[in-house]
């Protein structure tokens, strides 16, 4: 099984003049491979996966595997709200060698718990890759209950969850009840420190594009049971995280990356546009603040 812990990066997809910027993507990957992150998650929703066509997705997966070269685990975003389409995507990606997938709860059609269970079971049974389930109710309008998730955890390929439930009581209940070896990675930046304090394995964090080493250091200090040092790091990050989600993700992160010179364009694909002028000014200041952005 893949070791799923630490700080994983759900990496953005850069665009230039409407096209996927593969050269810029490669440079970005190489930058983050040297920051101490422990996993890469391409073509997730932070990577604007709903706007990518099949050929673009495959090129991004191929380039990711070439650049990473086995240094870190790569879990690819394979999800959607039509089970049959998700299964077709899995089949298209069969020729690529990566250990796992991250699959988001179906959005818009709002299935019940029986539908969620059947959806994820169908995906799990269609692949021999490891699978993280991504629960993010505020985007999907459906919450995967812990009872349902723990039933899915009985399937051999379901090895963990990206937990963005937004409900701390639910998250802590999951930590208490999860089976041995089942990874709980928070996707909710505001809960990162708290989840680590209660035994969580780490985070799959869009905000780890910014101040990456500080997120990595926080996890390391918590793993070493140095809560005082970890709390000092978290006090720095607490002020940064809300700024990155004030407007739709990944617009603020892309603006920050552009302001830092890490990507040549801050553009997203419609219906996402660009950050407001007011937020851009704050992000520009953050991008040039070494105490937060460069450490």
Determine which one of 32, 117, 134, 193 is catalytic.
134
Give pLDDT, residue 1: 79
The rounded distance, in Å, linking the Cα atoms of 160 and 238 is 26
Residue recorded with tokens 């969580």 = 200
Task: Give the model confidence (pLDDT) of 114-169 as tens digits.
Answer: 999 999 999 999 999 999 999 999 999 999 999 999 999 999 999 999 999 999 99
The rounded distance, in Å, linking the Cα atoms of 72 and 259 is 27
| CA dist list (Å): 139 to 59, 81, 110, 231 | 27, 12, 11, 29
Check: CB of residue 214 under 8 Å from CB of residue 196. no
Determine which one of 25, 162, 193, 254 is catalytic.
162
Closest CA to 203 of 104, 115, 195, 135: 195
Give pLDDT, residue 290: 57
Structure tokens at 57: 């997705």
pTM for this model (two decimals): 0.95
- Which helix (H) or strand (E) segment is 24 a member of? helix 22-33
Decide yes or no: CATH 3.10.580.10 for domain 6-246.
no
Phi, psi (degrees; rounded to nearest 5) at 288 = -110, 20
Give pLDDT, residue 284: 95
Helix, strand and coil in the chain, % to nearest 5: 50, 15, 40
Q: Is the pLDDT of residue 294 over 70?
A: no
**Quick one: average pLDDT of 27-56?**
97
Assess whether 134 carries a catalytic annotation: yes
Assess whether 162 carries a catalytic annotation: yes
**Quick one: average pLDDT of 73-101?**
97
Task: Give the model confidence (pLDDT) of 22-41 as tens digits.
Answer: 999 999 999 999 999 999 99
Task: Give the model confidence (pLDDT) of 218-269 as tens digits.
Answer: 999 999 999 999 999 999 999 899 999 999 999 999 999 999 999 999 999 9
Task: Give the model confidence (pLDDT) of 280-289 as tens digits.
Answer: 999 999 988 7
Domain ranges of the chain: 6-246
- Using DSSP's 3-state secondary structure scheme, residue 29 falls into helix
Q: Is the pLDDT of residue 291 over 70?
A: no
Structure tokens at 236: 């720095």
The rounded distance, in Å, linking the Cα atoms of 268 and 255 is 10
Q: How many CB atoms lie within 10 A of CB 259?
A: 18
Structure tokens at 285: 């200041």
The rounded distance, in Å, linking the Cα atoms of 73 and 98 is 7
- Using DSSP's 3-state secondary structure scheme, residue 9 falls into strand
Check: CB of residue 97 under 8 Å from CB of residue 129. no
The rounded distance, in Å, linking the Cα atoms of 199 and 107 is 29
**Quick one: average pLDDT of 39-63?**
97
Task: Give the model confidence (pLDDT) of 172-206 as tens digits.
Answer: 999 999 999 999 999 999 999 999 999 999 999 99
Q: Is the pLDDT of residue 295 over 50?
A: no
Check: CB of residue 193 under 8 Å from CB of residue 230. yes
């Amino acid at each position: 099984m893949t070791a799923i812990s630490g700080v994983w990066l759900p990496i953005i997809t850069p665009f230039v003049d409407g096209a996927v910027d593969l050269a810029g993507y490669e440079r970005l990957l190489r930058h983050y491979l040297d920051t101490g992150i422990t996993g890469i998650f391409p073509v997730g929703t932070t990577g604007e996966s709903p706007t990518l066509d099949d050929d673009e997705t495959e090129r991004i997966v191929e380039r990711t595997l070439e650049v990473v070269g086995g240094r870190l685990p790569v879990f690819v975003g394979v999800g959607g709200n039509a089970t049959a389409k998700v299964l077709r995507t899995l089949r298209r990606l069969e020729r690529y060698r990566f250990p796992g997938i991250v699959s988001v709860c179906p959005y818009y059609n709002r299935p019940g718990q029986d539908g969620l269970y059947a959806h994820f079971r169908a995906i799990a049974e269609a692949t021999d890759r490891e699978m993280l389930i991504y629960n993010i109710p505020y985007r999907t309008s459906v919450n995967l209950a812990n009872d349902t998730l723990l039933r899915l955890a009985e399937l051999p390929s379901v090895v963990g969850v990206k937990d963005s439930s937004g409900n701390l009581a639910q998250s802590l209940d999951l930590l208490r009840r999860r089976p041995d070896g089942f990874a709980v990675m928070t996707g909710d930046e505001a809960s990162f420190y708290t989840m680590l304090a209660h035994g969580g394995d780490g985070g799959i964090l869009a905000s780890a594009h910014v101040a990456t080493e500080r997120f990595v250091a926080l996890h390391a200090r918590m793993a070493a049971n140095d809560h005082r040092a970890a709390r000092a790091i978290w006090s720095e990050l607490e002020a940064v995280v809300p700024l990155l989600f004030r407007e739709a993700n990944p617009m603020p992160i892309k603006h920050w990356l552009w302001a830092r010179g890490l990507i040549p364009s801050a553009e997203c694909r419609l219906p996402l546009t660009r950050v407001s002028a007011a937020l851009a000014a704050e992000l520009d200041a953050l991008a040039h603040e070494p105490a937060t952005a460069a450490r």
